[in-house]
Amino acid sequence: MFGLNRWWKRVDKVTARRQSKVKRREPIMVERLEDRVLLYATSGNAWPNSQLITISFMPDGTDLGGVTSNLEATFNTKFGTAATWQNQILKAAQFWAQQTNLNFSVVSDNGGALGSGSNQQGDPGFGDIRIGGYNFGNSTIAQSFLPPPINNYSIAGDIELNTGTTFNVGTQYDLFTVMVHEFGHSLGLNHASATAACMYATYNGVDTALNADDISGIKAIYSAGAARTADAQEANETTAAAK
């Protein structure tokens, strides 16, 4: 910047002698562009078969490692019907699927204990990403497990919600917002540095869309930054299809 300023001082001296003939021009101002820093963080883990990742809802009573899931009873009482809260969760998954080569499908869950079985993906008894919950007894809203290979058995990708937290739709704590964040972890993203990102570590209010940082992160994992390509599941990859 010093060299540029010095050059303009020199031009100003020359033009000063011609002010009576030529209208003085204002010097061009040069604004420094911001550095483009990637703030998302990938974990180095990803589903080996991203073309079909299954989701299931754990039935109440599922062993979560010393505690049992009570998500269904808690949320059915809170939201009135299972469809109301499950649609919010599935819509959160679809927001990620719309951005890259991911496909989700809902399957039944046999209630096997969390982490039972040796399959990291494709277990016949339940989904790759299982969703349950219990009262954590603390302020944590939810927790999730990263996908393979770091978790190389059925616990990979599973999500637990704190049923001691008051969840809502459209207000704090917004279920959709929380689940977008947790699905991000289940798909291989760590916490982002960008405060506006859905993957930021702290709940910052209701999100209605993925941030550009989130989108860059998920594409870096599953499509090397490329746009989503059409496939056999394309008709299901809309938020309206989440039922």
Q: Which residues are annotated as catalytic?
A: 182
CB crowding 38-65: b at 16 or more within 10 Å, else e:
ebbeeeebbbeebebbbbbbbbbebbbe
CA distance 137 to 67: 12
How far does the chain reach from its first CA to its final CA, in angstroms? 57
Side by side, the strands of the sheet bearing 159-162 are 104-106, 53-57, 129-134, 159-162, 142-144
Closest CA to 230 of 51, 8, 74, 23: 51
Cα 223 to chain centroid distance, Å, stands at 15
Find out whether 95 and 180 touch, Cβ atoms under 8 Å: yes
